[in-house]
Amino acid sequence: MSHELLAPEAALRLILAECTALPAENCALDDALGRVLAEAVIAPEALPPFDNSAMDGYALAGGSEPLPAGSEWLIEGEQAAGDGASRARHGAWEIMTGARVPDGLDRVIAVEQTERLDAPPRVRLKAAVAAGDNLRRAGSDVAQGVAVLAAGILLAPNHLMLLAALGVARVRVATRPRLAVLCTGRELVDAAGAALAPGQIRNSNGPHLAAALPRAGAELVHRETVGDEVEAFLAAFARARDAGARVVISTGAVSMGRYDFVPEALQQLGATAIFHKLAIRPGKPLLFARLPDGTLFFGLPGNPIAVAVGLRFFVEPALRTMLGLPHEVPWRVSLTADYAKKPRLRFHLKARVAMDAQGGLSAQVLEGQESYRIRSLTEANAWAVIPLEANTLAAGSLVEVYGPSHLHSPDFGGSHA
């Protein structure tokens, strides 16, 4: 009996059809790093808020013709950063960088281009200075009332700088999807210091997901390790939902082994299995289901690289939709060497993207692609995706490449088509 496995693109469409953008919530600026803007930010103030000097120097007034080199001006006052409004008559004002330009003045000459003279205190220009020179006009960076940051922006320190400069106290951000992680397997040991009994291994998927999910925009509300019994799994599942999880991710126990009980547990929960098994490597046994209350369930196979692939290529796109983000556009990078695979599976390969002396990028498929090998993942800085139908690709072929996490991969633009 041969039947075609579900194509990963079709699987992703089924996943995304179950996902909707979560509502927006308010977030104080201090907590906004790493959140996704749900609404555009409108500048409540102008930036800079007043005309100020770009230089330490002298502020002057004049007509449309530049004030000539050699001219001398009586010094009438001094204006430092933080000084309030003042009004100039017709003389020069000594002014510091960032100081408010006294009303009536319209240009600044840098101190290096002047000579200070005494009795009476005055300044001689060593260069001409034209209207507007060395001024930072109010609103020249951002005019009050304009949209400065668009919905969908991941707030990074640069954005927080702008928001702080504009006096924005809180922003509207996408609510973070609430997730739970359940690791299955009676062989698993969580305590890092504990000695391993024969047959035991350490739980590496749990710490990996707990670290990766918040970086991917989710809030991890519950995490638990259980054995291979349906009852223990169901009890853990109930605790995950009590903790507020709207998406539950499990690892292990979705393949064909005698103890792969997750499909049975889901049946007992009354879940609708949306798919089980995909034409991918690694991670083929991936299972996706919806619970009667709307909770979404990803059953990832237990192998660590299968978990990483399930997270990166199926869970993260779901998170993007929940965060109101558009589909990710992969990079296209040429392979450093020939690559041969068997057809009818899409491969997700640990890869290293490197830059040559001309600035050209290429992707090297790393040694050690087996799904149990964790060390090679630490040498990878990207995933290379080899399409389902491909079997051999020549060196130099362009392949789709994804950064390690959807929110932390440079967006180089480009289109989907």
Contact positions toward ligand AMP, by CB under 6 A? 183, 185, 187-188, 201, 203-206, 251-253, 255, 257, 301-304
Q: How many residues does the chain have?
A: 417
Binding mask 164-203 for Mg ion (x = CB under 5 A): ---------------------x------------------
Residue nearer to Mg ion on the CB measure, 185 or 324: 185
**Strand locations in 190-302 (E):** 201-202, 219-226, 247-251, 272-276, 280-281, 287-290, 296-300
Helices (H), ranges, 359-411: 375-379
Alpha-carbon span 373 to 71, nearest angstrom = 77
H or E element: which one contains 182? Answer: strand 178-184
The least CB distance from residue 150 to Mg ion, in Å, is: 44
**x-marked contacts with Mg ion along 211-250 as a string, rule CB under 5 A:** ----------------------------------------
Report, in Å, the least distance between residue 256 CB and ligand AMP.
9
Q: Of these, 57, 206, 252, 310, which contacts Mg ion (CB under 5 A)?
A: 252
Pick one of 46, 99, 163, 253: the residue that binds Mg ion (CB under 5 A): 253
Q: Output the smallest distance, CB 285 to ligand AMP, in A.
A: 7
CB 195 within 8 Å of CB 227 = no
To ligand AMP, the closest distance from the beta carbon of 210 in angstroms equals: 11
Burial class (CB in 10 A: 0-12, 13-18, 19+), 92: buried
Which CB atom, from 102 or from 252, has the smaller least distance to Mg ion? 252
Tell me how far, at minimum, the Cβ of 143 lies from ligand AMP, in Å: 53
- The C-alpha atoms of residue 285 and residue 271 are separated, in whole angstroms, by 17
Nearest to Mg ion of 304, 330 (CB atom): 304
- Token output for 412: 């180089």
Q: Is 282 in the site for Mg ion (CB under 5 A)?
A: no
What gap in Å lies between CA 371 and CA 389, rounded to an integer? 21
Residue 245 CA: distances (Å) to CA of 236, 239, 405 = 12, 9, 21
Q: Which does 304 bind (CB under 5 to 8 A by kind): ligand AMP, Mg ion, none?
A: ligand AMP
* Contact call for residue 299 and Mg ion (CB under 5 A): no
Nearer to ligand AMP, 170 or 373 (CB): 373
- In this complex, which beta carbon is closest to ligand AMP, that of residue 169 or of residue 201? 201
Phi first, then psi, for residue 46 (nearest 5°) are: -85, 150
* DSSP assignment of 30-97: GG-TT-BBSSPEEPSS-BSSS-EESSSEEEE---SSPBPTT-EEEEEEEE-TT----B--SSEEEE-T
Q: How far is the CB of 206 from ligand AMP (least distance, A)?
A: 6
Q: Which is nearer to Mg ion, 253 or 307 (CB)?
A: 253
**Partner whose footprint covers residue 330, from Mg ion, ligand AMP, none (CB < 5 to 8 Å by kind):** none
Shortest distance in whole angstroms from residue 260 CB to ligand AMP: 6
For Mg ion, the closer of residues 285 and 403 by Cβ is 285
Of 258, 262, 230, nearest to 249 by C-alpha is 262
What residues line the site for Mg ion (CB under 5 A)? 185, 252-253, 302
